[in-house]
Structure 1
Amino acid sequence: MASYNAISTEKLLRLIGTPKGPVVIDVRDEEDFAAQPLLLPASFRRPYASVQQWGADYRGRWVVVVCQKGKKLSEGVAAWLRNAGAEAETLEGGFEAWQAAGLPLVPVAALPGENANGGTVWVTRARPKIDRIACPWLIRRFVDPAATFLFVAAPEVEAVADRFGAMPFDVENVFWSHRGEDCTFDAMVKEFGLTFPALQHLSLIVRAADTDRLGLVPEAAGLLAASLGLSRMFADDLEQLEAGMTLYDAFYRWARDATQEKHEWVSHVAKKAKSNE
């Protein structure tokens, strides 16, 4: 029987990728993790045995704890986190339930190394437009919420990556870049195993807008216009990224929940009363 402090896979699936979703912490033991080095989207690992030391980091935050089967390790860690002031739940059925449902899992091998603060570091060209905002959004919402992004002069991207331990993206001759007709966003969705249907839809829009093939999908022109507008509004690339996060949050929720919804003025006009004549 599931704990009353447990969350279902279905509910967590709806929350992942949204800005107000919970922190998801994987506490599987080393043996289970080594056997399946995969992570739930947007989750990261912490050692269950030292929760008394790191638990206070999550005071006041909503946390979902994942272990192999949703039993002793996640129950114990969630209990410690609640003692530390967090709102902590376990994932019902744990990692095994998520995997059995065929839900997306991120291969750890696809992730770049973490920095001293625990998050991945990425570097790309300054003055972003589409891919260079879409990709950071994807990473923060579905891969690594603690990721850091560096925007530098285009000729220096690879040198900065080398000197500062960052992963270059959306430049020529690097792994995370355009591939054939796909843009960098497409490459990341595929490499990270993010098989969410809404992301597949959003990928097409980003690809069309980023590669000047606006005829692929009607929404591409709107994304291009909004992206170019943001680039004119902000001189600071990081401020532009923060504004762009909201833009892509909106596109993702539309792709997930509202593609069939229509809006027209006529539906808001009050119907005239029938005449008695």
Structure 2
Amino acid sequence: MPLHFSIAPEKLWRSIGTSGAPLIVDVRKPEVVASSNSVLPGAILRDPHEAASWAFAHDHGTIVVACVHGHRRSQMAAAQLRARGLDARILEGGYDAWVAAGLPLVDRGAVQKFAPQPPSVWVTRRRPKIDRIACPWLIRRFIDPEARFLFVDPPQVADVARESGAIPFDIEGVELSHDGERCSFDTILKVFDLEREPSLARLALIVRGADTARPDLAPEAAGLHAVSLGLSALAGDDDHGVLDRGFAVYDALFAWLRFASSERHNWPAKAA
């Protein structure tokens, strides 16, 4: 199959939030990055002049390179990557086209604070069920695709965070945790400026309803609650195993919210 040279913003957005999303590399000039305070979801910052020697932690398949307009800097870097046999594409129209299409961006200040260099490391209580699966899913799909997660006994989260430098979440007394009736998932959406994305906002309602015994918030909350507790019961102490299986649940929920929420099934059809 021939490789494509570019990808449209709308097509890239459809793949973000899925397990098959490409690696996004931001090659804008440092002064441009500093003045914008926004980055593409999950993007890593690199110098395009060093593209011939870029190393990646994993084989990401497709790589999308983005600059301001989709011109010199992104095309230079993509050409270097393609010369190495990699499937590298430019973002058509760059950041300008992405913004013009009204697509979501992530707050760069929050990324610098919590995930300045991939892979970022995060720590929380073991035996994740709902919020502690939803948050890692959100982090890995929209903030840092290389993020790593540590699960420890609840009293040890703060100490492990200090010892390892990991970011603690979903425990009392930290920034990324519950806020009143809102979950840690809500908090992370707000901190990273993703709460205005309609499908993520709706997903937050489902997570909140499932995690805080409020099934009235969304019809899907009771189902997520049941599936999440079932996954946890099957997994036992395999925290990373339940995380992997839980990601499939959130991938499916997010895809349904974006692409299939209006679809209805009524077989067998009612009699005339």
Relative to the length of structure 1, the TM-score reads 0.90
Residue of structure 2 equivalent to 1:230: 231
Separation in structure 1 between the aligned mates of residue 119 and residue 57 of structure 2, nearest angstrom: 15
The structural deviation recorded for 1:43 is 1.2
How far 1:97 moved relative to its partner? 1.9
- The answer to whether residue 209 in structure 2 is matched with residue 244 in structure 1 is no
CA distance, structure 2, for counterparts of residue 46 and residue 150 of structure 1 = 27
User: CA 1:233 to 1:98, structure 2 compared with 1: closer, same or farther past 3 Å?
Assistant: same
Residue deviations 1:6-36 (CA, integer Å, cap 9, x gap)? 2111111111111112111101111211211
Aligned length: 264
Q: How does 1:42-191 map to 2 (within 5 A)?
A: 42-54=42-54, 61-111=61-111, 112-114=114-116, 118-191=118-191
TM-score for both structures, normalised by structure 2 = 0.92
C-alpha RMSD of matched pairs (Å): 1.8
Structure 2 contact 171–177 (Cα < 8 Å) conserved: yes
- Equivalent position of 2:202 in the other structure: 201
Q: Secondary structure at the match of 2:242?
A: helix
What is the alpha-carbon distance in structure 2 between the residues aligned to residue 42 and residue 216 of structure 1?
A: 29
Secondary structure of residue in 2 paired with 1:202: helix
SS in 2 for 1:266: coil
For structure 1, which segment, 224-233 or 254-263, has the greater mean C-alpha deviation from structure 2 after superposition? 254-263
CA distance change for structure 1 residues 262 and 56 in 2, over 3 Å: closer, same or farther?
Answer: closer
Match of 1:8 in 2: 8
- CA shift in 2, pair 1:57/1:216, >3 Å: closer
Q: Measure the CA separation in 1 of the matches of 2:206 and 2:57.
A: 38
Does the 8 Å CA contact 2:128/2:239 hold for their aligned counterparts? yes
Displacement of 1:169 after TM fit?
A: 0.4
- The structure with the largest alpha-carbon Rg is 1
Tell me the distance in 1 between the aligned counterparts of 2:135 and 2:87: 30
- Native 8 Å contact 1:59 1:85 kept in 2: no
- Shift of residue 196, structure 1, vs aligned partner: 2.2
* Distance in 2 of aligned mates of 1:101 and 1:259: 22
Contact in 2 for aligned 1:58/1:86 (Cα 8 Å): no
Q: Which runs of 5+ in 2 are unaligned?
A: none
**Residue 57 (structure 1) shift:** 6.6
Identity of aligned residues (%): 49
User: Are residues 218 and 60 of structure 1, via their aligned partners in 2, closer, same or farther at CA, if it must alter by over 3 Å?
Assistant: closer
